[in-house]
Amino acid sequence: MDSLEPVSDVELHWEVRGEGEPLLLLHGFMGCAANWRLVFPEPPAGFRLVAPDLRGHGRSTNPSGTFSFRAAGLDVVALLDRLEIDRAKAIGLSGGAQVLLQVAAAAPSRLGAMVVVSGAHYFPEQARAIMRRTTPESASEDVWRQMRSFHPGGDAQILALWRQAHDFADADDPHFTPAQLAGIRARTLIVHGDADPFYPMDVMEELRASIPGAQLWVRPGAGHGPIFGPQAAPFLDRALAFLRQR
């Protein structure tokens, strides 16, 4: 099923595939819901995949022209309401992991378990330095070609996302307090590549220690978002085994 409907203050696009327990999939910033088909060519047994385009991404609108992880998290809660999903499991990647943490903190009863991939509770300085260098002028033609395949709004939509990504360097979102993280009730698996240029290991250890009962799976030699290509199969084995636990 493929839908585009009003949710919160935006027109939100989402895909639903498969049958069974709802599994929410939140893509990375500047990506789109279709990216998950590279990880899940077919829905795994027992799961109904729910993959939205975050506000301003893919076919979803964002009239405000600004992006916050807080607002995107509220969109996701509103989508769960729209689909009459009281409780789901979830995977969030990079920016989508930041959004997933917002959902887990703001609406802890809505998530039974979650996998947080290459996401953190705040942006350390090394991540902010990369964001300051994130400009459309620095992108290769291959990156532009890929972005145009993700975002049907064309170059205006893509340039807005580039600007938002650059502006994260000076933003205070995400910024979770210890009390907010301690209030998360979802069983949590944190997936981190130890060569991730955005987040050093001490940030991931801090996140693990702050969420009750959280587990940390470190992928040796892996960078940011270690779930695609040859890394997809081991990721799926570990993530789905974790999500299927009762």
Write out pLDDT tens, residues 125-145: 999 999 998 889 888 999 999
Q: How confident is the model at residue 180 (pLDDT cuts 50, 70, 90)?
A: very high
Q: How far apart are CA 188 and CA 178, in angstroms?
A: 16
- Could you give the angle at the alpha carbon of 132 between the alpha carbons of 61 and 177, nearest 5°? 75
Which among 194, 197, 56 is positioned nearest to 123, based on CA atoms?
197
Residue 241's pLDDT is what? 98
Under 8 Å between Cβ of 147 and 30: yes
Overall pTM > 0.85? yes
Q: How far apart are CA 150 and CA 162, in angstroms?
A: 14
User: Is the predicted pLDDT of residue 115 greater than 90, yes or no?
Assistant: yes
Domains and CATH numbers, the chain: 2-244 (3.40.50.1820)
Q: What percent of the chain has pLDDT over 90?
A: 96
